[in-house]
Amino acid sequence: MKRFTLPAVLAALVGAGVTQVVLAQSAPTVAVVKDPGCGCCTKWVAHLEKAGFKATVTESAKIDALKDSKGVPKAARSCHTGTVDGYVIEGHVPAADIQRLLKERPNIVGLAVPGMPAGSPGMEVGGRIAPYDVIAFDKAGKTSVFASHR
Protein backbone atom coordinates (compact mmCIF):
# COMPACT_ATOMS: atom_id res chain seq x y z
CA MET A 1 0.00 0.00 0.00
CA LYS A 2 1.38 3.39 -0.95
CA ARG A 3 1.39 6.01 1.83
CA PHE A 4 0.76 9.67 1.17
CA THR A 5 2.00 12.44 3.41
CA LEU A 6 -0.18 15.44 4.17
CA PRO A 7 2.15 17.86 2.34
CA ALA A 8 2.07 15.62 -0.74
CA VAL A 9 -1.73 15.45 -0.69
CA LEU A 10 -2.05 19.22 -0.21
CA ALA A 11 0.40 19.85 -3.06
CA ALA A 12 -1.66 17.60 -5.31
CA LEU A 13 -4.87 19.39 -4.33
CA VAL A 14 -3.33 22.81 -4.96
CA GLY A 15 -2.10 21.60 -8.32
CA ALA A 16 -5.58 20.39 -9.15
CA GLY A 17 -7.19 23.72 -8.25
CA VAL A 18 -9.10 22.28 -5.30
CA THR A 19 -8.03 25.07 -2.94
CA GLN A 20 -10.69 27.39 -4.32
CA VAL A 21 -13.39 24.88 -3.43
CA VAL A 22 -11.98 24.41 0.08
CA LEU A 23 -11.68 28.17 0.61
CA ALA A 24 -15.22 28.75 -0.64
CA GLN A 25 -16.58 26.14 1.77
CA SER A 26 -14.87 27.84 4.72
CA ALA A 27 -15.94 31.38 3.77
CA PRO A 28 -18.04 33.04 6.47
CA THR A 29 -21.72 33.56 5.67
CA VAL A 30 -23.26 36.96 6.25
CA ALA A 31 -26.99 36.71 6.93
CA VAL A 32 -28.46 39.98 5.64
CA VAL A 33 -31.89 41.39 6.40
CA LYS A 34 -32.83 44.33 4.23
CA ASP A 35 -35.65 46.74 3.72
CA PRO A 36 -37.90 45.51 0.88
CA GLY A 37 -37.09 47.12 -2.44
CA CYS A 38 -33.75 48.61 -1.44
CA GLY A 39 -31.31 48.24 -4.36
CA CYS A 40 -28.15 49.44 -2.64
CA CYS A 41 -28.34 46.50 -0.24
CA THR A 42 -28.09 44.10 -3.18
CA LYS A 43 -25.00 45.94 -4.43
CA TRP A 44 -23.42 45.69 -0.96
CA VAL A 45 -24.08 41.93 -0.90
CA ALA A 46 -22.37 41.63 -4.32
CA HIS A 47 -19.38 43.51 -2.83
CA LEU A 48 -19.21 40.96 0.02
CA GLU A 49 -19.45 38.00 -2.33
CA LYS A 50 -16.71 39.43 -4.55
CA ALA A 51 -14.51 39.58 -1.42
CA GLY A 52 -15.13 35.88 -0.71
CA PHE A 53 -18.04 35.97 1.73
CA LYS A 54 -21.18 33.92 1.27
CA ALA A 55 -24.45 35.78 1.84
CA THR A 56 -28.09 35.03 2.45
CA VAL A 57 -30.63 37.80 2.00
CA THR A 58 -34.05 38.17 3.60
CA GLU A 59 -36.43 41.09 3.13
CA SER A 60 -38.39 42.35 6.10
CA ALA A 61 -40.62 45.33 6.72
CA LYS A 62 -39.90 44.86 10.46
CA ILE A 63 -36.21 45.65 10.16
CA ASP A 64 -36.27 48.24 12.97
CA ALA A 65 -37.36 45.56 15.43
CA LEU A 66 -34.42 43.43 14.29
CA LYS A 67 -32.02 46.35 14.82
CA ASP A 68 -33.47 46.87 18.31
CA SER A 69 -33.04 43.18 19.16
CA LYS A 70 -29.43 43.20 17.92
CA GLY A 71 -28.52 46.33 19.90
CA VAL A 72 -27.77 48.61 16.94
CA PRO A 73 -27.62 52.21 18.25
CA LYS A 74 -30.22 54.43 16.60
CA ALA A 75 -27.58 56.91 15.41
CA ALA A 76 -25.65 54.11 13.68
CA ARG A 77 -28.49 52.66 11.61
CA SER A 78 -28.73 52.16 7.87
CA CYS A 79 -30.94 50.23 5.44
CA HIS A 80 -29.75 46.67 6.10
CA THR A 81 -28.45 44.59 8.99
CA GLY A 82 -26.26 41.54 8.75
CA THR A 83 -24.83 39.01 11.15
CA VAL A 84 -21.63 37.06 10.72
CA ASP A 85 -19.87 34.77 13.17
CA GLY A 86 -21.57 36.34 16.21
CA TYR A 87 -21.17 39.98 15.11
CA VAL A 88 -23.72 42.48 13.80
CA ILE A 89 -22.91 44.38 10.60
CA GLU A 90 -25.05 47.48 10.06
CA GLY A 91 -25.08 49.28 6.73
CA HIS A 92 -22.42 49.62 4.07
CA VAL A 93 -19.41 48.27 5.97
CA PRO A 94 -16.54 47.41 3.59
CA ALA A 95 -15.65 43.73 3.31
CA ALA A 96 -12.04 44.46 4.35
CA ASP A 97 -13.28 45.88 7.66
CA ILE A 98 -15.44 42.80 8.26
CA GLN A 99 -12.43 40.58 7.53
CA ARG A 100 -10.37 42.58 10.02
CA LEU A 101 -13.17 42.27 12.60
CA LEU A 102 -13.26 38.49 12.19
CA LYS A 103 -9.48 38.24 12.43
CA GLU A 104 -9.06 40.51 15.49
CA ARG A 105 -12.32 39.44 17.25
CA PRO A 106 -12.70 42.49 19.51
CA ASN A 107 -15.20 42.44 22.39
CA ILE A 108 -17.92 44.43 20.61
CA VAL A 109 -21.42 43.76 19.30
CA GLY A 110 -20.64 44.86 15.77
CA LEU A 111 -19.74 47.43 13.16
CA ALA A 112 -21.85 50.08 11.46
CA VAL A 113 -21.67 52.63 8.70
CA PRO A 114 -24.43 55.08 9.65
CA GLY A 115 -26.65 56.31 6.85
CA MET A 116 -25.74 55.66 3.26
CA PRO A 117 -22.53 57.57 2.45
CA ALA A 118 -21.70 58.03 -1.25
CA GLY A 119 -18.77 55.88 -2.28
CA SER A 120 -19.24 53.26 0.43
CA PRO A 121 -19.72 49.69 -0.90
CA GLY A 122 -23.09 49.53 -2.65
CA MET A 123 -23.39 53.32 -2.74
CA GLU A 124 -21.05 54.04 -5.64
CA VAL A 125 -22.65 56.96 -7.48
CA GLY A 126 -20.89 58.54 -10.43
CA GLY A 127 -17.48 58.52 -8.76
CA ARG A 128 -18.66 60.63 -5.81
CA ILE A 129 -17.00 59.66 -2.57
CA ALA A 130 -17.94 61.07 0.81
CA PRO A 131 -15.58 60.44 3.72
CA TYR A 132 -17.08 58.09 6.29
CA ASP A 133 -16.21 56.12 9.40
CA VAL A 134 -16.93 52.53 10.30
CA ILE A 135 -18.19 52.59 13.86
CA ALA A 136 -17.74 49.81 16.42
CA PHE A 137 -20.49 49.51 19.04
CA ASP A 138 -20.73 47.52 22.26
CA LYS A 139 -23.60 46.14 24.38
CA ALA A 140 -23.94 49.43 26.26
CA GLY A 141 -24.31 51.35 22.99
CA LYS A 142 -20.86 52.94 23.33
CA THR A 143 -19.32 53.68 19.95
CA SER A 144 -15.81 54.22 18.67
CA VAL A 145 -14.19 54.58 15.26
CA PHE A 146 -13.05 51.18 13.94
CA ALA A 147 -11.87 52.47 10.53
CA SER A 148 -11.95 55.69 8.52
CA HIS A 149 -12.38 55.87 4.76
CA ARG A 150 -11.35 59.09 3.07
Tell which wins on pLDDT, 25 or 31: 31
How many helices (H) and strands (E) in the chain?
5, 7
| Confidence at residue 25, expressed as pLDDT on a 0 to 100 scale | 52
In a domain, 1, yes or no: no
Over residues 58-98, the pLDDT tens digits come to 999 999 999 999 999 999 999 999 999 999 999 999 999 99
| Confidence at residue 78, expressed as pLDDT on a 0 to 100 scale | 94
The number of domains in the chain is 1
In a domain, 73, yes or no: yes
Burial class from Cβ neighbours inside 10 Å (0-12, 13-18, 19+) for residue 1 reads exposed
> 98 is in which domain, residue-wise?
6-149
Average pLDDT over residues 122-137: 92
